[in-house]
């Protein structure tokens, strides 16, 4: 993180935020990590039928987002995420530890990780307002320092399903190094004009190192560091020392961010295939961003089967027939979703047969056939 960023320490906090009052509940949790003798105060916002503190959660089951704040920033600076994501059906948690002028990045990462695990435990606690209200999928998120800490929290973490961060900053220990051990789907946002955590020194390296099965880096044209959040004096004072260019405004940067973030979360955490297509289409058509994407397991481009294998009908409503030439039979068919997750596999020892895909949701899948000689691939559409 560049030296200008730390100049914010000379000023006190100035905050003036308004949280939307539309179906958003709030509670403060004191989450105790006994292994570290540490209490993690966490501000939690969630879908509710009535607005207020400690009100009942709206009937439903909601994925959890654990969000790490930036250096010298309070969680209220991220009310834009609260107002956008809670009404979409997410529970968002803000651990408010490590808010001093000399934060411990490792402890902050451990806090994010522990809160994510404990929120799932509250789903089973009938004394909690979150009893039976939490979906099994969780994402780690964060801005700036909190973005770097999200990688520390995700490293070798089997209890999360996604990582998202915004202008993520290098940390100590290194978030760039920790990314090597992050395998879940990952989405990184950066601003092309960010002079606090420049993309080439921070997010590019995190993206390159991430071992995610599918990872995307979105750079917002003329975007800057602080505009991912709402007005925060400390952040903007620090950025003012290095940014003299003309940028897009805050509202525009946040609108662009949410146009990608919301469908991506809906796809990854709610298995909404339509939102997955919306996200992909937006990447391909938006003039507001540049992006890099790597999905190692598969590509959803049309990959036709080679001669000797026939799959039909495609698109299909449920059943899929296969004909395999006798000289290449005796192999394995595998079905993947577009995130590269293996859904099922079938041992094939006959030249003809039928696969039942009725249990799968509508959407795009990838079928592979492998024998001892070669592997064939095809995109399958279920409608």
Cβ atoms of 93 and 113 closer than 8 Å: no
> Of the segments 8-22, 66-80, 263-277, which one has the largest average pLDDT value?
66-80
Q: What is the pLDDT of residue 381?
A: 84
C-alpha–C-alpha distance, residues 315 and 379, integer Å: 9
Average pLDDT over residues 2-28: 50
43 and 132, same domain (yes or no):
yes
Q: Is the pLDDT of residue 247 over 90?
A: no
Taking the complete model, does pTM exceed 0.75, yes or no? yes
Write the pLDDT tens digit of every residue in 262-293.
Answer: 999 999 999 888 999 899 999 999 999 999 99
155 and 187, same domain (yes or no):
yes
* CATH code of residue 357: 2.60.40.3080
Full DSSP string of 244-298: -S----HHHHHHHHHHHHHHHHHHHHH--HHHHHHHHHHHHH-SSEEEEEEESS-
User: Which domain covers residue 67, as residue numbers?
Assistant: 3-295
Q: What is the pLDDT of residue 157?
A: 94
For the beta carbon of residue 152, count every other beta carbon within 10 angstroms.
Answer: 29
Q: What is the pLDDT of residue 383?
A: 77
134 and 222, same domain (yes or no):
yes
Average pLDDT over residues 333-339: 83
| Residues 6 or more apart in contact with residue 225 via CB below 8 angstroms | 144, 167, 191, 194, 195, 196, 197, 235, 239, 243
Q: What is the pLDDT of residue 373?
A: 67
| Residues 6 or more apart in contact with residue 3 via CB below 8 angstroms | none
37 and 12, same domain (yes or no):
yes
237 and 109, same domain (yes or no):
yes
Last residue of a domain, one of 270, 295, 320: 295
Torsion over CA: 285, 199, 249, 227 (sign): positive
DSSP count for the chain of H helices, then E strands: 8, 17
Average pLDDT over residues 359-377: 80
What are the backbone dihedrals phi and psi of residue 9, each rounded to the nearest 5 degrees, phi first? -65, -15
C-alpha–C-alpha distance, residues 285 and 282, integer Å: 5
Last residue of a domain, one of 243, 273, 295: 295
How many structural domains compose the chain? 2
281 and 327, same domain (yes or no):
no
* CATH code of residue 215: 3.40.50.1820
124 and 219, same domain (yes or no):
yes
Average pLDDT over residues 129-133: 97
Average pLDDT over residues 36-58: 97
């Amino acid at each position: 993180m560049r030296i200008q960023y730390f100049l914010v320490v000379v000023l006190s906090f100035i905050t003036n935020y308004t949280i939307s009052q539309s179906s958003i509940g709030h509670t403060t949790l004191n989450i105790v990590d006994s292994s570290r003798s540490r209490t993690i105060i966490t501000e939690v916002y969630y879908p509710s039928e009535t607005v207020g503190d400690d009100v009942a959660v709206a009937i439903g089951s909601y994925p959890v987002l654990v969000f790490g704040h930036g250096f010298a920033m309070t969680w209220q600076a991220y009310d834009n995420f609260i107002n956008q994501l809670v009404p979409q059906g997410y529970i968002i948690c803000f651990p408010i530890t490590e808010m001093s002028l000399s934060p411990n990045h490792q402890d902050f990462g451990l806090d994010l990780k522990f809160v994510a695990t404990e929120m799932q435990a509250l789903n089973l606690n009938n004394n909690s307002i979150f009893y039976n209200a939490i979906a099994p999928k969780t994402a780690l998120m964060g801005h700036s320092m909190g973005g770097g800490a999200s990688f520390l929290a995700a490293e070798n973490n089997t209890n999360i399903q996604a990582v998202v961060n915004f202008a993520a900053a290098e940390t100590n220990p290194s978030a760039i190094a920790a990314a090597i051990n992050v395998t879940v789907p990952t989405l990184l946002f950066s601003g092309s004009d960010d002079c606090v955590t420049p993309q080439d020194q921070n997010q590019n390296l995190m993206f390159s190192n991430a071992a995610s099965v599918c990872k995307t880096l979105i750079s917002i044209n003329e975007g800057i560091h602080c505009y991912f959040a709402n007005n925060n004096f400390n952040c903007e004072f620090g950025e003012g020392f290095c940014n003299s260019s003309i940028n897009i405004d805050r509202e525009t940067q946040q609108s662009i961010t949410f146009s990608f973030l919301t469908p991506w979360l809906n796809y990854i955490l709610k298995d909404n295939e339509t939102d997955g297509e919306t996200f992909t289409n937006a990447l391909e058509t938006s003039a507001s961003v540049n992006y890099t994407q790597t999905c190692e397991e598969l590509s959803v481009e049309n990959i036709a089967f080679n001669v000797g294998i026939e799959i039909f009908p495609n698109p299909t409503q449920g059943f899929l027939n296969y004909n395999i030439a006798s000289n290449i039979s005796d192999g394995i068919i595998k079905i993947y979703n577009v995130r590269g997750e293996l859904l099922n596999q079938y041992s094939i020892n006959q030249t003809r047969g039928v696969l039942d895909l009725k249990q799968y949701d509508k959407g795009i899948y990838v079928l592979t056939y492998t024998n001892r000689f070669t592997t064939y691939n095809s995109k399958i559409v279920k409608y």
